[in-house]
């Protein structure tokens, strides 16, 4: 049986995004091993896989990195893997170095959004760009998930006959978001018609920029619009955002961490992303699956998914008035809302797990083998 190794910095990446990929590889006759920082019980549907704990730290320059390199080298040296696929920046850099030292063939890396991008801080370019340029030389196949990263990756020098790919993310189970229980959420939050609901999903941090939405909603409040925002997530900006919402007299429900995301999306009218930086945001795809129009900042990742005035609106980062105008157009013009909603139901097919797995088979150049 052929052997395949997946390496990520943390266990959550595997369980949240890569399970369908693992099942696809197994269906094609591969035995899949997983190397990561294991810190909790392994999910039942992945317990039959071989799991190897690696001493990864989120900081590639920590002392643990030397130990992680040694552990990966030993794993690869004794594993006889036909392919090794790295995810996440730390595992991607340290792992590819280890694979190079062990002369591993078929080394693959998925960049889930380079840390260097248009408008990124200079320090990101100084640290991560040279690391990626160097690691590319140890890579046979480099997968990117948005257009900006893909174009930049084409300038990297990979191994002989190496190739760069663009794949639309890790894939989404579209059917999961088709039938959320909107009434449950509206009852919980005491929402009554004709109040409109705007949703943001993500950690409460500076990058996610929830403050832009709060300030835009203040402009709409002054215009007499009755709109409530829902923020799902926790994070360091929690106190500041609650104070900002109170000071601007904007209605916001801070729900913290939730597992009923499909229900919350179903209860919402519009979903927003005001981020400064994204790779290929999954929360936007989830909203599209439910036919929800989008208002997002015009940045890498967001603009790959959202086409302005087709399936949502692109607005400038910190464009408060522009954001308010986009929300006003969607929430209070039924024809625009209906058209954009229908477009999202169609466009989301590009990101379905079925289509992504077909793309990955092409990347892997999988040939069907006997399962006996």
Q: What is the pLDDT of residue 210?
A: 98
Specify the pLDDT at position 163: 97
Exposure letters 218-250 (e unless 16+ CB within 10 A, then b):
bbbbeeebebbbbbbbebebbeebeebbeebeb
Q: What is the DSSP string of 345-370?
A: HHHGGGGBHHHHHHHHHHHHT-----
| Cα–Cα distance measured from residue 324 to residue 332, given in angstroms and rounded to the nearest whole number | 12
| pLDDT score, position 57 | 81
Residue-range domain boundaries for the chain:
2-171+352-364, 174-351
Report the pLDDT value the prediction gives residue 307, as an integer from 0 to 100.
95
Query: What residues of the chain score a pLDDT lower than 50?
Result: 368-372
* pTM given for the model: 0.89
* DSSP reduced 3-state for 86: strand
Q: Which is the CATH superfamily of the domain at 174-351?
A: Glycogen Phosphorylase B; (3.40.50.2000)
Q: Do domains 2-171+352-364 and 174-351 have the same CATH topology?
A: yes
Q: What is the pLDDT of residues 190-243, one digit of tens each?
A: 999 899 999 999 999 999 999 999 999 999 999 999 999 999 999 999 999 999
Q: Which residue has the tokens 């894939």?
A: 171
Q: Return the pLDDT at 179.
A: 86
Distance in angstroms (rounded) separating the CA atoms of residues 158 and 154: 9
| Under 8 Å between Cβ of 300 and 336 | no
Question: What span, in angstroms and rounded, lies between the C-alpha atoms of 254 and 238?
Answer: 9
* pLDDT at residue 367, rounded to an integer: 57
For the CA atoms of 41, 46, 52, 53, the dihedral, rounded to the nearest 10 degrees, stands at -30
Nearest to 277 by CA among 120, 90, 111: 120
What class does CATH assign to 2-171+352-364?
A: alpha beta
User: What local confidence, expressed as pLDDT, does residue 368 receive?
Assistant: 47
CA neighbours closer than 13 Å in the CB half-sphere of residue 45? 10
Exposed/middle/buried for 199, CB within 10 Å: 0-12, 13-18, 19+? buried
């Amino acid at each position: 049986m052929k052997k395949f190794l997946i390496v990520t910095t943390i266990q959550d990446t595997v369980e949240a995004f890569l399970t369908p990929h693992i099942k696809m590889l197994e269906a094609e006759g591969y035995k899949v091993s997983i190397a990561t920082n294991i810190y909790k019980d392994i999910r039942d549907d992945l317990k039959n896989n071989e799991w190897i704990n690696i001493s990864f730290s989120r900081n590639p320059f920590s002392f643990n990195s030397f130990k992680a390199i040694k552990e990966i080298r030993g794993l690869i040296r004794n594993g006889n893997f036909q392919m090794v696929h790295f995810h996440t920046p730390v595992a991607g850099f340290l792992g590819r170095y280890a694979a190079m030292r062990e002369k591993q063939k078929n080394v693959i890396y998925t960049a889930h959004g380079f840390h260097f991008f248009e408008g990124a801080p200079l320090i990101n370019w100084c640290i991560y760009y040279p690391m990626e340029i160097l690691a590319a030389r140890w890579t046979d196949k480099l997968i990117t998930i948005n257009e900006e990263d893909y174009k930049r990756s084409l300038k990297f020098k990979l191994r002989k006959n190496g190739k760069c790919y663009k794949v639309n993310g890790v894939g989404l189970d579209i059917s999961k978001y088709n039938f959320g229980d909107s009434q449950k959420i509206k009852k919980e939050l005491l929402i009554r018609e004709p109040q409109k609901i705007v949703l943001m999903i993500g950690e409460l941090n500076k990058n996610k920029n929830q403050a832009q939405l709060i300030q835009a909603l203040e402009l709409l409040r002054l215009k007499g619009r009755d709109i409530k925002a829902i923020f799902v997530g926790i994070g360091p900006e929690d106190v500041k955002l609650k104070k900002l919402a109170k000071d601007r007299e904007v209605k916001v429900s801070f729900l913290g961490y939730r597992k009923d995301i499909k229900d919350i999306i179903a209860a919402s009218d519009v979903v927003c992303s005001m981020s400064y930086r994204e790779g290929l945001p999954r929360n936007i795809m989830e909203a599209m699956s439910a036919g929800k129009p989008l208002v997002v900042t015009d940045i890498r990742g967001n603009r790959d998914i959202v086409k302005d005035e087709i399936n949502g609106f692109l607005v400038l980062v910190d464009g408060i008035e522009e954001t308010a105008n986009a929300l006003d157009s969607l929430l209070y013009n039924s024809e625009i809302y209906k058209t954009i909603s229908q477009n999202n139901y169609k466009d989301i097919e590009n990101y379905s797990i079925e289509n992504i797995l077909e793309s990955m088979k092409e990347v892997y150049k999988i040939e069907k083998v006997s399962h006996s």
